[in-house]
Chain A
Amino acid sequence: MLRFVVRRLLLLVPILLGLSILVFLWIRALPAGPAQSLLGERATPETIAQIEEQYGLDRPLHIQYWRYLKTVAQGDLGTTIRTRRPVTEEVKERFPATIELAMAALLFATLFGIPLGFVAAKRYGTWIDHSSLVASLIGISIPIFFLAILLKYVFAVQLGWLPTVGRISVLIDLEHPTNFYTLDALIALDFVAFWDVIKHLILPAIALGSIPLAVTARITRAAVLDVQNEDYVRTARAKGLPPRVVDIRHIFRNALLPISTIIGLQTGLLLSGAVLTETVFAFPGMGTWLVEAIRQRDYPVLQGGILFVSFVFVIVNLIVDISYALINPRIRVS
């Protein structure tokens, strides 16, 4: 087991290095050139010379890369052009917002996806099953941003039940020690704020979680169906165990395996989808940050943001793989 974990960790290194190379080359492929891209096209010769000195742009490529790697490893992702703040500082503000949204979406997807898949499997072949399949296919076919617009239209414009913009109402004054607004509200024991934050999360979470919901439902259904027909289940039933017990003790537990891996696999989708959902709901997370950056050609933000998000993504995948291996002994041996 330990060998497996170590092997996977070692695999991490070339991937992260490769990622940094990719981003490094990307900066140099930008139309304005590396110095100007990072400074916001400032033409003052002094500042350009400064940047060239700092990044060693006159030196050979591999030395530049080494310098770049050093700065990134020290946690310096550059300075934004728009607000002249360190990229890492803005990441600290924006990233928790997206994480909160992603977790809310994941919660929505699993809370509704698993039972739906389970019921569909149990009612295999009936209209319930067929319609759940169709529904999940439709779910995958709706672009996230369109679903967001629809939700906005129905629940905010027409019905007025939920807010459509931002993370929290302007009137509420909350300290942000963690920048996870739900946690901040709980820490401050401010339940009005807490409820307000939740209200702001509902529609974006549904929009973002729609595809994970569809996928989770389908995988759950497939997994339950598989397990259901296994010998040990039939044996348990033949022994006379009540169906509910069979369900929970055998079917559910073994179906949990593929289900939990699917949850891990949704991360990429959630991170991508967050960009679109946040834009529609003006949710101040990484998504809107990166979209504004590309519109305003704020390349330090793009570079730091993409690097950071990919880094997180890789780590999450690693954790998923390790936990999958923990649950599934077959993998460790292979």
Chain B
Amino acid sequence: MGRVSLRRILLLLATALLVLGAAGCGGGDDGGGGGEGGTLVFAGAADPVVIDGALVSDGESIRVITQIFETLINLKPGTTELAPGLATEWEVSPDALTYTFTLREGVKFHDGTDFNAEAVCFNFDRWYNFTGPLQSPSASYYYSAFFGGFKNNESEDLSDPLYESCTAENPTTAVIKLTRPSASLLGALVQQAFSIASPKALEEFQADEGTLDEEVGFRPTGTFGTEHPIGTGPFEFVSWTREDRLVLKRFEDYWGEKAKLDELIIRPIADNAARLQALQADEIQGYDLVEPQDIQTIEGDENLKILDRPAFNVAYVGINQAKPPMDKLEVRQAVAHGLDRQAVVDNFYGGRGVVAEQMMPPEVEGYADSVTKWPHDPAKAKQLLQQAGLTLPVEIEFWYPSDVSRPYMPNPKNNFEAFAASLNKSGFKVVPKTAPWDPDYLGRVDEGNAGHLHLIGWTGDFADADNFIGTFFQDFNPQFGFRDQELFKLLDDAEVESDRQARIDLYKQANQRIMETLPAVPYAHTKPALAFRQDVEGFVPSPTTNELFSTVTIGEQ
């Protein structure tokens, strides 16, 4: 090493700094003029799982799927009212067994193939014909929640299929036949699980290939959901670098009003503080899952704004009755008395939460007028446990997800710690267990492998009680591990009941039974907040948290 003079080093540094300084000043990004065009970067809290509506149930995947795929029926933006989607008209037969859909014309998939009745039936038949690992709840959660079973049920826990057949009478007419009447098919079809994908792409890219992990769930191995998700929506897929960004661009041949943005980039930023900082630094222009403690900061910043979604969710402590002693009613009652729900709602929701008394929000029809209440009462809880013949403290495994933030549960760890502390004072001994949200935690919960208690929640997909308590409790569900034939019957009857008032009554009864038998303990309904830069307009918050970005514009950069 020869003589390295200090002077030379300094000279080099100075030159380097000058160059960098000059470079930093010059150049800029492609600033669109106000209004049309431009790129919007939006941050979620986690990476999507897979871009295939039939195989996911997490909000991050659904957010992306909502931009790329479309359903037969839509919701009017910002509401839970039905509106035409890929179907312009529909007719229900008087016996509620046959649904005839008139399809929109001139719609193309992103790969250029035509959207028609054949494509619709291809999709419905695809789901109906799921076999093997695809039948597990961690794969086709929404499908089995609504339609029950498949063509060839491979598990006893799957009920008889609701779906019978789909016929493409002509390119613009699809007729769906059911095996039993259903009053909620139309509402259910707005869910992204029933979005229509390009049959050509589904086949070519092996959308149905995958393996089943006993503990963790379904893992797809084809490239449809990771590289070629082809739908009819206003945005088309460009690329996906996992854990980094997913890029969508405007689909120029969209049948409706084209997206205003040129490009939409969705980034997962797990760290909540980092999301906020990125927004403040204009590295992203919007993000979801605002932490309660940051709301004040954002509202106080003149460059940022908060948008509230209408409350349409429920956070709950799930109970797995397949794991003793949870099968004993007294024990579940003890849990309900042991949880200090008010304290959690008061402290961890930034003033935007209310204590939940039922497993669905009050706004949905079927909300019971009055149910059994479970005030926080540690002494009562201990009494109940002793009545059940158990020695205190009763050891239980309580699971919570790590590395995630959900609209109904901004900080699972906080909720968990508070609940565990209150349960520990109520005659229990909580064994904390945690796993990363995806794939482990979700898979475990879906398959019933998440201990005695677990924290989770649900955001409604459409304004129907069936979407809440029907999804949870209509059939045997490994997540909750119980068979309550009376409850199953109530929900089955309600689903097919065509008289509105009778239906509402049935759901009210169901809710009362739920809060008596306690398959789960609900604790919060919240108004999840989104944060945006001031110059982002046109975003319509939806109670279902499925929002389209096609109407969004960015002001002058």
Contacts and interface: CB of A to CB of B under 8 A. Distances in A.
Please say whether the chains A and B touch (CB closer than 8 A).
yes
B267 A191 contact: no
A169 interface: yes
A334 interface: no
A191 B17 CA distance: 12
Interface in B233-265: 242-245, 265
Given A83-B242, A256-B1, A295-B403, A44 B283 contact: no
13 contacts: A42-B214, A82-B439, A83-B242, A84-B219, A160-B281, A163-B283, A165-B271, A170-B245, A170-B267, A191-B19, A195-B20, A198-B20, A284-B243
B269 A165 contact: yes
Contacts of A198: 20
B213 interface: yes
Given A83-B242, A171-B29, A192-B26, A41 B403 contact: no
Contact of A169 (B23, B243, B271, B283): B283
B105 to A, nearest CB: 37
Contact of B212 (A44, A260, A327): A44
Given A170-B245, A248-B3, A296-B440, 8 more contacts: A43-B215, A115-B6, A157-B273, A170-B265, A191-B26, A192-B23, A282-B274, A295-B436
B402 interface: yes
Contacts of A40: 213, 216
Contacts, number: 90
A108 interface: no
A295 B281 CA distance: 30
B370 interface: no
A47 B280 CA distance: 48
Interface in A300-328: 327
B278 interface: yes
B12 to A, nearest CB: 11
Contact of A47 (B1, B211, B274): B211
B289 interface: no
B41 interface: yes
Interface string B2-41: 0101100100000000011011101111000000000101
Q: Report the 8 A-B pairs with minimum CB-CB distance, sorted nearest first.
A: A191-B23, A43-B214, A192-B27, A165-B274, A195-B24, A170-B41, A42-B213, A41-B215
Contact of A157 (B212, B277, B284): B277
Nearest to A190: B27
A76 B1 CA distance: 39
Name, among A47, A160, A253, A296, the residue most crowded by chain B CB atoms within 10 Å (CB to CB). Answer: A296
Contacts of A156: 277
B433 to A, nearest CB: 13
Interface residues of B, number: 46
Interface string A47-76: 100000000000000000000000000000
B293 interface: no
Contacts of B216: 40-41
Interface string B499-532: 0000000000000000000000000000000000
Interface of A: 40-44, 47, 82-84, 111, 115, 156-157, 160, 163-165, 169-172, 191-192, 194-195, 198, 248-249, 253, 256, 260, 282, 284, 292, 295-296, 327
Contacts of A165: 269, 271, 274, 277-278
B27 A171 contact: no
B221 interface: yes
Contact of B274 (A83, A164, A171): A164
Contact of B41 (A111, A171, A248, A295): A171
A163 B5 CA distance: 34
A272 B141 CA distance: 42
Contacts of A163: 277, 281, 283
Contact of A195 (B23, B29, B274, B278): B23
A179 B29 CA distance: 22
A195 B18 CA distance: 12
B51 to A, nearest CB: 14
A214 B63 CA distance: 48
Contacts of B283: 163, 169-171
Nearest to B242: A83
Given A42-B211, A44-B212, A198-B20, A248 B5 contact: yes
A117 to B, nearest CB: 13
Nearest to A297: B440
Interface in B188-227: 211-216, 219, 221
B45 to A, nearest CB: 13
A84 B20 contact: no
Contacts of A47: 211
